[in-house]
């Protein structure tokens, strides 16, 4: 039996003997208890300062809302949107400490929206004005026939005052049901294997059809706010999961505390190994032996999960916030129907063995119980306000989706979609001719270049005509006959009859 004796100084021994324990704890709290309290205060003040500077920075930004129309006969696939999101990832910038804490700068965000106002469906993209050219170039590269026009913002048409006697609101935010490195169903899973041409069964068509059935005064909005992460460290958890499934040993760099602990415990560990047996020290500390045959004992389901996680973390990820909103007149409000349709839509992207999209409970306005009615107006106000401001971190946390998952949630319907309610352009738009002139600042309108060209050609033709010879007309009747006089024989020309 080995024992350790610690000899304390006499003043400390006397203090412990004569001081009651409650008084001892009170004095300890007064002596060092202010340190965590002061730390919490400093942490709160720094975040208040950061929110203030980010608010100022946000007010200085200029936004543009773009409507995208794709011709009905154009070839549209979600793969094009996946490439679009890949190109858009170039907006990520390295933000310095000064830009974060003194200027409040954040990574640029975008909002992709599917909107139905009284049945008219639009596909909208909200972007900073300085990134408009980038967005248009990336879209035209994938959809050359697309038409992109700037439209006024529609979100301010809805009031934020609730309870309201005329309008009612229902909606919520969407969150991942599992860890972020597990993928949802992507567009490749919706290709029907039984058909010869592998036709794509668009998961958005059911909800678009429902959005087209909005009545007078009803609105149905879907919003997907994305922002590039500061780094792609979210993939590290996925790599750790893969290593665990394959039986690989994770190597961690020893920290300073680990090194000090090893040096301090080498003697007790040696004595314990001698008492238990050779090599028993490691077993006593619970260190597991490496399993080299873990891969050969994996079930088919585990192999599918392994491949799916590896596929998701191999692509660029975006911080994502998805929310939906339904608003309508209070007399004809159809909450149950819209809630069921929206739940069914998000369930379409669910893979039971991997991940799915589900409602984030705290953001949904509910009135099932009397205590939920107390907070329902505030939740409705928060939902509308966050939709109007297009913020991502106001409620809950960001969700991590890669470019393939984003393209599955937001894309333009395929060319073979037979949904009649889609607002598409029926004609293609060509570029202007090279000879078209531009209007100057003082011109009220563009000149008619076709008419001017025709007039110029006619004038040039007239100028190039040969000169006509001068002809003097010869009278056919003598002048004397006109005035009743009879001319003499000498006055009559020989070629004229008398």
CA distance 407 to 346: 14
Structure tokens at 163: 């309870």
Residue 176's nearest CA partner among 380, 322, 326 is 322
Residue 396 within any structural domain of the chain: yes
Which pLDDT belongs to residue 258? 57
Query: CA-based Rg of the chain, rounded to a whole angstrom?
Result: 40
Give the tens place of pLDDT for each residue, 226-243. 999 888 788 888 888 888
Residues of the chain with pLDDT under 70: 1-6, 72-75, 192-199, 249-296, 394-396, 414-455, 467-498
Question: Taking the mean position of all CA atoms in its chain, how far away is CA 386?
Answer: 15
Taking CA atoms, 59 is separated from 56, 63, 223, 418, in Å, by 5, 10, 21, 42
Please tell me the predicted confidence (pLDDT) of residue 285: 46
314-344 CB burial, b ≥16 within 10 A, e <16: ebbbbbbbbbbbbbbeeeebbeeebbebbee
> Would you state the structure tokens that stand for residue 286, as one six-digit string?
């619970």
Beta-carbon neighbour count of residue 292 at 10 Å?
9
The answer to whether residue 442 sits within a structural domain is no
* Bridge partner residues of 111 (DSSP): 126, 225
Residue 255, domain member (yes or no): no
Whether 379 contacts 363, CB under 8 Å: yes
Asked if residue 95 lies in contact with residue 32, where contact means CB atoms within 8 angstroms, the answer is: no
Number of structural domains the chain divides into: 1
Q: Answer yes or no: is 147 within a domain.
A: yes
Please indicate, yes or no, if residue 44 is contained in any of the structural domains: no
Torsion of CA 193, 197, 203, 209, to 10 degrees: -140
Which string of b and e fits 352-383 if b means at least 16 CB within 10 Å? eebbbbbbbeebbbeeeeeeeeeebbebbbbb
Domain enclosing residue 128, as ranges: 61-232+316-409
Does 301 reside within a domain? no
The CATH number given to whatever domain includes residue 104 is 3.40.462
120 forms beta bridges with 117
Separation between Cα atoms, residue 183 and residue 17, nearest integer Å: 62
Q: Which two tokens stand for residue 443?
A: 């011109």
CB environment 149-165: b (16+ within 10 A), e (fewer): eeeeebbeebeeebebe
> Is residue 131 situated within a structural domain?
yes
Task: Identify whether 167 is part of a domain.
Answer: yes
pLDDT one-digit tens code per residue, 154-211: 988 888 888 888 888 998 888 898 899 999 988 888 776 555 555 677 788 888 888 8
Q: Is omega for the bond preceding 255 within 30 degrees of 0, making it cis?
A: no
């Amino acid at each position: 039996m080995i024992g350790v004796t610690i000899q304390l100084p006499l003043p400390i021994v006397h203090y412990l003997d004569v001081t009651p324990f409650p008084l001892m704890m009170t004095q300890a709290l007064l002596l060092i208890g202010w340190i965590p309290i002061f730390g919490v205060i400093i942490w709160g003040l720094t975040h208040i300062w950061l929110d203030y500077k980010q608010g100022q920075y946000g007010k200085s930004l200029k936004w543009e809302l773009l409507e995208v129309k794709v011709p009905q006969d154009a070839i549209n696939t979600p793969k094009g949107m996946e490439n679009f999101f890949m190109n858009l990832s170039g907006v990520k910038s390295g933000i310095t400490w000064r830009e974060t804490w003194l200027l409040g700068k954040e990574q640029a965000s975008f909002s992709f929206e599917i909107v139905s106002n009284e049945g008219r469906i639009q596909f909208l993209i909200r972007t900073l004005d300085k990134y408009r050219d980038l967005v248009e170039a990336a879209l035209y590269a994938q959809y050359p026939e697309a038409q992109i026009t700037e439209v006024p913002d529609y979100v301010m048409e809805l009031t934020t005052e609730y309870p309201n006697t005329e309008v009612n609101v229902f909606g919520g935010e969407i969150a991942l049901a599992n860890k972020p490195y597990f993928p949802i169903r992507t567009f490749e899973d919706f290709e029907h294997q039984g058909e010869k041409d592998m036709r794509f069964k668009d998961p958005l068509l059911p909800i678009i059809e429902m959005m087209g059935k909005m009545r007078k005064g009803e609105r149905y909005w879907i919003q997907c706010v994305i922002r590039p992460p500061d780094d792609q460290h979210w993939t590290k958890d996925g790599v750790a999961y893969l290593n665990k499934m394959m039986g690989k040993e994770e190597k961690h760099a020893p920290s300073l505390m680990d090194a000090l602990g090893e040096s301090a415990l080498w003697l007790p560990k040696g004595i314990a190994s001698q008492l238990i047996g050779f090599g028993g020290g490691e077993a006593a500390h619970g260190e597991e032996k490496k399993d080299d045959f873990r891969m050969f004992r994996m079930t088919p389901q585990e192999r599918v999960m392994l491949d799916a996680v590896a596929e998701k973390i191999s692509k660029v990820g975006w911080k994502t916030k998805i929310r939906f909103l339904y608003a309508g007149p209070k007399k004809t409000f159809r909450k149950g129907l819209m809630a069921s349709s929206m739940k069914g839509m998000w369930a379409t992207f669910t893979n039971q063995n991997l991940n799915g999209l589900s409602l984030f409970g705290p953001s949904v306005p509910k009135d099932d119980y009397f205590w939920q009615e107390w907070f329902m107006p505030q939740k409705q106000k928060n939902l509308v306000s966050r939709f109007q401001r297009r913020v991502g971190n106001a409620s809950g946390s960001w969700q991590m989706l890669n470019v393939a998952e984003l393209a599955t949630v937001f894309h333009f319907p395929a060319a073979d979609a037979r949904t009649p309610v889609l607002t598409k352009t029926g004609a293609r738009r060509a570029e202007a001719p090279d000879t078209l002139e531009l209007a100057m600042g003082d011109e009220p309108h563009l000149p008619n270049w076709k008419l001017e060209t025709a007039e110029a050609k006619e004038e040039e033709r007239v100028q190039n005509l040969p000169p006509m010879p001068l002809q003097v007309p010869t009278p056919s009747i003598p002048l004397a006959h006109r005035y009743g006089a009879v001319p003499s024989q000498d006055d009559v020309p020989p070629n004229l009859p008398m």
